[in-house]
Amino acid sequence: MSGEVLSVLRENLSEKDFKILAAIENEKVHLFVADAIQLCEPEKVWVSTDSPRDIEHSRQEAIRLGEEIPLNIPGHTVHFDGMEDQGRDREVTRYLVPAGDKLSPALNQIERETGLKEVRNLLKGAMKGRTMIVRFLTLGPANSIFSIPCLECTDSYYVSHSLNLLYRPGYEEFKRLGSRARFLATLHSAGELDQRMVSAQPDKKRIYIDYSTDTVYSVNTQYAGNTVGLKKLALRLTIRRADEEGWLAEHMFLMGVTGPNKRKTYLAGAFPSACGKTSTAMLPGETILGDDIAYFRAIEGKCRAANAEAGIFGIIQNVNAKDDPTIWKVLTSPGEVIFSNVLVKDGRPYWLGMGVEVPEEGENFSGKWFRGKKDAQGKEIPLAHKNARYTVSLKKLENCDPALDDPQGVELAGIIYGGRDARAWFPCQQSFNWDHGIVAYGACLETETTYAIIGQEGVQEINLMSIQDFVSIPLGKYVRNNLEFGKKLTQPPVVFAVNYFLRDGSGKFVNAVQDKHVWIKWMERRLHGELRARRTPTGYIPCLEDLQFLFREVLNKEYTPQDYRNQFTLRVPENLAKLERAEKFHRQHVEDAPPEVFQILEEQRYRLQEAARKFGERAAPECFPLDTE
């Protein structure tokens, strides 16, 4: 430890905390903490270990300081973010790009020295009168090929409490690795707070990612997606590391699907926010390994996958007892849960779509709330925010997969891409091969913007692999890395696509909420070669008789030929238009797009045009041949 760093740490840390930090023999750790202290000027510094006492301390301090409010059910608390801090903020989330380097124009960025100066000026003195909390955690299982050590300094005990639930403890891992720890670092300050302990200067909110030093800076915000550095902010950094080392960091859930004779098959899925990602990962009777971020490694010719996280930061809107029994039980039983931006009345939380009678007044993210209350623009404020969340440890779920912390990960059999598409995509389909799936389903994934992102809702856009906002390398290179990854595998995962939001001519959804379970069960059987399919221009689709069997088996529901035609009639013009939008996006926004992208799209265009010539613009599923692959 250098003299200057030693002096800063000894001056600002208690003897106990200094010893805890000094036990990690890593100069870069000491330097980062010392720099954070000098920059943010906290009143004191607390260094957390993995001890149960320290873990509980974060929760108790969050309550004592008013960042969280206890609810009636033991262990449950609520946190409120400000009116203008209710989601990931694209506009103020930027990459710091060094001179001479460049990222794809689709990515939000700023010249590194300019951005670094701006965000550090905002952080200067930001922790005066408060405690800096120093946390050590790991992404991925500890002591594993998937492990990435992480360090976060924050002045929010709500953030520290969230870290307890969402990630694996890492203090002992840092001690074990010592100087070998190549870690990701986050420096966060909530900034000036109002009387409700809410960030009071949202106009000065900044979330900057310095990929040249593996560091995230976040200031004047509390929303966990902007402040818990190990979530999407770290994903941006792990994507670069994966690119460097030849593996994949993905915005995907991981789940185990049960087949005949208690067989378990692991699937991953990439869905933009509010498109059914967590509800798919949480299907009753299946097991959940993760709901947000997964790492893929090619090991001995097989794709092995692990959850980067150990908890869920999930959207709570529409979670109800009927459709989401597993998570509903957790949210209504004693145990550690953080609710955010819901309505609270008499110590009970309420959210949109929960399926119960709700109060006419209470407290929510706007303060005291009553039905009809309007914001500064005259727009009515809902009882809870559409992007209200719950935070919980995965191990609190009855269906948590036992392989969650397996250092070897699990063998991945299939990958699902799902968007929000009212017009074109089938409810489910299977790609012809790895390259076709990665391009036609992943790289061309299209959805509508939702309330999880600040800005206009309902705008149709390409969200490449549901990871576009987080890609910190050229987008074309990212697509290339996915294509090349498949070549490392003796049998790549089979790629599927789902769409829970297809509508008929009257605007009615053709999927019922629970139908997704049938699509997942169909995939599991296909992966083991047990079901036939029909070959359409865009992929393989289920056969009627198999769906009739699966709907009875899974949902105890009759499935008719008319249901089949409503869901699986090929809409040729809509699919051609979708393809045109995807191609335009790749030509305009994806630098160095692999030529395979345009070749695969052209082949799909030809197949669609041939289908229209033979069967018309609305081709019933029975038009297409059976394929036993």
Long-range contacts formed by 331-335: CB under 8 A, 24+ apart: 331/390, 331/392, 332/73, 333/73, 334/73, 334/74, 334/75, 334/76, 335/74, 335/75, 335/76, 335/392, 335/396
Q: For residue 156, which amino acid is it?
A: S
Residue 313: in which H helix or E strand, if any?
strand 311-315
Question: Distance (Å, rounded) from C-alpha 484 to C-alpha 609?
Answer: 30
- Dihedral of the CA atoms 239, 243, 248, 253 (nearest 10)? 10
Residue among 553, 521, 595, 447 nearest 264 (CA): 521
Would you say 214 and 184 are in contact if contact means Cβ atoms under 8 Å apart?
A: yes
Residue 275 is among the residues annotated as catalytic for this protein: yes
Residue among 139, 142, 149 nearest 174 (CA): 149
Residue in the block written with tokens 């769906």: 547
Residue among 201, 176, 174, 204 nearest 47 (CA): 174
Q: How far is CA 215 from CA 31, 72, 132, 235, 318, in A?
A: 13, 39, 17, 12, 35
Question: Distance (Å, rounded) from C-alpha 349 to C-alpha 366?
Answer: 15
Contacts of 60 (CB under 8 A, 6+ apart): none
Question: Distance (Å, rounded) from C-alpha 218 to C-alpha 211?
Answer: 14
Q: Which of 40, 275, 303, 444 is catalytic?
A: 275
Question: Distance (Å, rounded) from C-alpha 337 to C-alpha 339?
Answer: 6
Residue in the block written with tokens 């990929």: 211
Residue 505: in which H helix or E strand, if any?
none
Report helix, strand or coil for 536: strand
Residue in the block written with tokens 């809902």: 382
Would you say 466 and 272 are in contact if contact means Cβ atoms under 8 Å apart?
A: yes
Question: Distance (Å, rounded) from C-alpha 522 to C-alpha 108?
Answer: 39
Residue 25: in which H helix or E strand, if any?
none
Contacts of 130 (CB under 8 A, 6+ apart): 42, 43, 155
CA 289 to chain centre: 13
User: DSSP labels for 443-485?
Assistant: IT-EEE--TTBSS-SS-EEE-GGGTGGG--S-HHHHHHHHHHH
Angle between helix 157-166 and 52-64 (nearest 10): 140
Active site residues: 275
